[in-house]
A and B are shown apart, each in its own frame.
Chain A
Amino acid sequence: MIPLKLARHHLTKNKTQTLPFILSNSMWVMITYIFFSMIHDTNLKAMAYGTETDYILKLGLVFVVLIATLSTFYAERLLSKQRMQELGLYSILGLTKHHLRQIVFWENILFYLICMVIGSAFGFAFSKFAFMGLKSLIGTTLLHQTLTWTPLLFDVLVFAVVFSLIILFDFWELRKVDPIDLWGKTAQPEKEPKSHLFLAILGLIILAIGYYISVTVKPTQDAFSRFIVAVLFVVVGSYLVFITTSISGLKALKKRPKYYYQPNHFISVSNMLYRMKQNGAGLASISLLCTSVLVALTASFSLIAGEKNIIDFYGPRDVQIVAPKPLSPVEKQHIKRIAKQNHITMRAPQTVSVTTPVTGVLIGDRFKQNTIHKANYVLSSLDLKQYNRLQRTHYRLARDEVLVYVSGSRYDKQALKIQGKRYRVKPIAQFSGAFAYGHLMTFKLVFVVAANKKIAHEINPYPEIYAQGFNIAGTNKQQKRFSNTVQQTLKVASENFTSKPVVRSLLQAIFGSLLFMGILISLVMICATVMIIYYKQVSEGYADQKYYRVMSEIGLSRQETTHAIRSQVLTVFLLPIVGAVINLGFALPALKSSLSELGLYDSKILTMVSVILTAVLLVSYMLIYMATAHVYRHIVNQGMV
């Protein structure tokens, strides 16, 4: 069969182009297999919080398949010029359209088979490994894996669909052009890109709006949805800026003869104009891919790193019961009995009584009560005697004086106005009785210590509640069983009952699966980025062949030409990563607000994690760039005399 032979010939002859395609697609087959395997071959759903984890994984899976498909199409488009020329030659040599379709068909079938075999083999091997990773990240021993054929079946089906789409796309490309066009497609030069001033400015404005939203997101309950809106703006803005603003900017530079007619600027400005036209969308995609890698990993690593802070936010003791009155002797007996049954020892009991917290906002030094959806603080009050006892301090307060504690920050105003009265403030950094009432993690906690109970009630007139807690020792399993039994026996509503061992496993399950997915998705995106960069180098190489030849004849040494073109190509390749870092910079405030929703207030952790990740990304990006650069050089040198 001639078409099959020609297809095989193409695959083996153009190794520099087919190998990366095979590698990246195999990688996606592998990762998709792992996702399917985690969802279908494990008892994840049966685990505590398994439904959440399962949901997160399925979301990730959809995302991976989407990214894989899109970047494959993008690579196909980059190479299609070169490819169409080759097929055009066949067509001139007498092959019919039907034959060409057959060649394209067989090519993709071969690609599909190769990628499926490699991908599933590695997927099978690595799913065991990934499973162990997931297990340790979620922190459970109950998770187990039974290997079945289901993931493979799904994997085969999903990629059959992807490759069918590719085949249809290629057919469409073939349909569009007739043989003579095919032959000349690469030779046909491109018009100088037009400047779309309106779109260029619009892009900048949209990007600015996105950044503005992100920076001004308040840590209230709708922080996350506002973050999503900001993301949408930044995505649209990035594409517009990369595609149109860059061209308008370059055109403006070109209009300044003093700047334009200098050897380096002359070559780079004119060349960049064309590159940006062809590459604007691709560069914007790389930039957004890098941004999402940075944001996803920053968020998940920060959550893992900040897990202890989050857990401590729930309250000062391992187990805590909040109630309108102190625990009765009978209830205390129950707890003791359950502890004994579960081999738990209890230590450091502590009871704090504070007024029921009210939600509100701080405007300057005035606390204004507000509905829960518009608030970002909860405030309760207590008397000095309790505070001094808990902290072992010896503060004295006048009637118009208060101590103010704000979780995660310091109250820096001189006074506090509340309930129509003004109090002078002594800020305090410590309050070992602080707890998040009703597990409301989105709010900053404010505790106001007044001279006595009467004044405390003037500050916050709501009835007192008692937070009663103690630490426990025992195995993780015993601790959880003890906690659950206590809660059931005493019939405590879940928002009034805190058990850190239980919270810890919940957070581990959620954060662990988030990180697991973050890592897998980042792998996919890095792979997509590598593939796009690689094929960009290849297509740019072909585009620059003639350039090098003409330049050398006009009297620019190869070294000088290389220098001029490389520095400019490097600029083009660095743009997306610069864009990604800027995006991350603006995403951090919104990220901070969204994460505080989950109880993470430590912005130091967030900053550190993002700086480290940015550095890692920069280094790996440059490595990828340099590793692919030799392909470019090779292609360019083919065109020399």
Chain B
Amino acid sequence: MSLLVLKHIKKSFSTGHQNEIQALKDVSFSVDKGDYVAIMGESGAGKSTLLNIIATLTHPTSGKITMNGIDLSHLSENEAAKFRRTQLGFVFQSFNLLDTFNNRDNIYLPLVLAKKSPQFMANRLAPLSQLLGIANLLDRQSFEISGGQKQRVAIARALITEPRLLLADEPTGALDSSNTEKILNIFERVNSKGQTILMVTHSAQAASYSRRTLFIKDGKIYNELYRGDQSRNQYLQKIIDSLTALEEVQ
């Protein structure tokens, strides 16, 4: 069953003087429950705009986007905020942890906003901190830990609400290779437990952990790859081939 459905999504920005930039021209695709989708493309291809629309941070100019049957195209600001709070989890390239909280409170933040009891939050956090290997970091401040650790704390914050969809924006963009691998392994494990993930990335390596990769160019979906039964290396090779082909199309 499709969790997220995008139909003919268009997004244009006016830059004054009647000039319009079309960031997304006609994008349609859907994401099934339990899927792990990577979206690849060059800078300026429209990846971020697409992510912002799915994240309800901005509205599409036209087209329809639904998640779990809810129409996201016309949510008011307050409805959108509530939707994000209850249905989505975010992981960013720059972690976006708040310095005024320690790591535990950073993770608790969305649950506190949802008015959950301290006991409830502690129960949710315990298995998660085991899974992510951050149990011994919880009482430290976010700026006292390394980038890889920060990202794991940020993932905990995204997952603690048990969101329907985890959105990741270049989650490994600021990490070294060993930390990148750790994070990608975590994503894979989380997905295998049923978590739906949608990830925007530059990195073919990151995309190779997904079940499906969408290639976007000039505001359109250009190509689509499924991993199926392939090994990760085979899948990675196909992704790289596809990227090369994408570059040659002018």
Whether A546 contacts B98 in the complex (CB less than 8 A), given A266-B105, A270-B105, A553-B90, comes out as yes
* Complex interface: chain A residues within 8 A of B141 (CB): 189, 191-192
> A262 on the interface (CB 8 Å rule)?
yes
Residues of B within 8 A of A273 (CB): 100
Closest B residue, CB atoms, query A272? B100
A558 within 8 A of partner (CB): yes
Tell me if B80 counts as interface (CB < 8 A to partner A).
yes
Is B4 in contact with chain A by the CB < 8 A criterion? no
* A261 is an interface residue with CB less than 8 A from chain B: yes
Chain B residues near A266 (CB-CB < 8 A): 105, 108-109, 112-113
Contact among B84, B108, B143 for A553, CB-based, below 8 A: B84
With A553-B90, A556-B85 as contacts: A262 and B100 at CB distance below 8 Å: no
In the complex, chain A residues whose CB is within 8 Å of the CB of B81: 552, 555-558, 560
Find chain B residues with CB under 8 A from A554 CB.
84-85, 90, 109-110, 113, 157
Residue of B52, B96, B116 with most partner-chain A CB within 10 A: B96
- Is the CB–CB distance between B105 and A641 below 8 Å? no
| Assembled-state Cα–Cα distance A350/B133 (Å) | 98
List the A side residues contacting B98 at CB < 8 Å: 546-547, 550
CA distance A559 to B57 in the complex (A): 14
For residue A259, give the distance in angstroms from its CB to the closest CB of chain B: 10
A99 interface residue, CB < 8 Å from B? no
- Cβ of A13 within 8 Å of any chain B Cβ, yes or no, is no
Give chain A residues whose Cβ lies under 8 Å from the Cβ of B78.
557, 559-560
B86 nearest in chain A by CB position: A555
A185 at the interface (CB under 8 A from B): no
Nearest-Cβ distance from residue B157 to partner chain A, whole angstroms: 8
Mask, B84-99, CB within 8 Å of A = 1, is: 1110101010001111
| Whole-angstrom CA separation of A556 from B102 in the bound complex | 19
A558 (CB) vs chain B CBs: closest residue: B77
Across-interface contacts of B83 in A (CB, < 8 A): 555
Chain A residues touching B, range: 20 to 34
Q: How far is the CA of A271 from the CA of B98 in the complex (A)?
A: 10
Query: Is A274 at the interface (CB under 8 A from chain B)?
Result: yes
Contact assessment for A552 and B57 in the assembled complex, using a CB-CB cutoff below 8 Å: yes
Cβ < 8 Å to A, chain B residues 50-102: 52, 55, 57-58, 77-78, 80-86, 88, 90, 92, 96-102
| B-chain residues with CB within 8 Å of residue A189 when the two chains form the complex | 99, 141-143
Give the distance in Å from the alpha carbon of A556 to the alpha carbon of B90 in the complex: 13
Q: Say yes or no for B121: interface residue by CB 8 A criterion.
A: yes
A263–B115 contact, CB under 8 A? Answer: yes
Majority SS at the chain A contact face: helix
- The answer to whether B99 and A190 touch across the interface, beta carbons within 8 angstroms, is yes
Q: State in angstroms the CA–CA spacing of A554 and B109 once bound together.
A: 8
Any A CB within 8 A of the CB of B44:
no
Cα A549 to Cα B121 with chains together (Å): 23
With A556-B81, A556-B113 known as contacts, the answer to whether A261 contacts B118 (CB < 8 A) is yes
Cα A266 to Cα B113 in complex, Å, equals 9
The distance in angstroms between the C-alpha atoms of A218 and B60, with both chains bound, is 75
CA distance A553 to B101 in the complex (A): 17
Inter-chain contact A270/B101, CB cutoff 8 Å: yes
**CB-based contact B100/A263 at 8 Å:** no
Give CA–CA (A555, B163) in the complex, Å.
12
Query: Are A257 and B100 closer than 8 Å at their CB atoms?
Result: no
Residues of B within 8 A of A547 (CB): 98, 100
Known contacts A266-B105, A553-B96, A555-B85; A257 and B113 CB within 8 A of each other: no
Docked-complex contact A555 and B113, CB < 8 angstroms? yes
- Most central of A190, A263, A557 by chain B CB within 10 Å: A557
Chain B residue numbers with a CB within 8 Å of A262 are 112, 115
Residue of B nearest to A258 (CB): B118
- Shortest beta-carbon distance, A217 to chain B, in Å? 43
Return chain B residues, CB-CB under 8 Å to A555: 81-86, 88, 110, 113
B166 to chain A, nearest CB (A): 13
Q: Whole-angstrom distance between the alpha carbons of A455 and B139 in the complex?
A: 84
Contacting B at CB under 8 A, from A177-192, are 189-192
Query: Which residue from B85, B115, B118 sits with its C-beta under 8 Å from A257?
Result: B118
Instruction: Check B108 against A261 for contact (C-beta < 8 Å).
Output: yes
B169 to chain A, nearest CB (A): 10
> Does A263 contact B113, Cβ atoms closer than 8 Å?
yes
Distance of A160 from chain B, by nearest CB (Å): 41
- Minimum Cβ distance to chain A for residue B174 (Å): 14
Q: Give the shortest distance, in Å, between A207 (CB) and chain B (any CB).
A: 28
- Highest count of chain A CB atoms <10 Å: which of B78, B83, B113: B113
B-contact 0/1 string along A179-210, CB 8 Å cutoff: 00000000001111000000000000000000
Q: Which residues of A contact B105 (CB under 8 A)?
A: 266, 270
Q: Are A557 and B58 in contact, with the CB atoms below 8 A?
A: no
Do B57 and A553 have beta carbons less than 8 Å apart? yes
CB under 8 Å from chain B, chain A span 320-348: none
Q: Which chain B positions have C-beta within 8 A of A258?
A: 118
CB-CB nearest in chain A for B144: A191
When C-beta atoms are compared, the residue in chain A nearest to B76 turns out to be A557
Show 21 residue pairs from A and B whose CB-CB distance is below 8 angstroms, ordered by the A residue: A189-B142, A192-B141, A261-B112, A263-B112, A263-B113, A266-B112, A274-B100, A550-B96, A553-B55, A553-B57, A554-B84, A554-B113, A554-B157, A555-B81, A555-B83, A555-B84, A555-B86, A557-B80, A557-B82, A559-B78, A560-B81
On B, residues with C-beta under 8 Å from A are 52, 55, 57-58, 77-78, 80-86, 88, 90, 92, 96-102, 105, 108-110, 112-113, 115-118, 121, 141-143, 157
Additional A-B contacts beyond A555-B84, A556-B81 (10; CB < 8 A): A190-B99, A191-B141, A261-B117, A262-B115, A263-B112, A266-B109, A266-B113, A553-B57, A557-B78, A560-B81
Closest 8 CB pairs of A and B: A555-B85, A557-B81, A555-B84, A189-B99, A257-B118, A189-B143, A266-B112, A270-B100
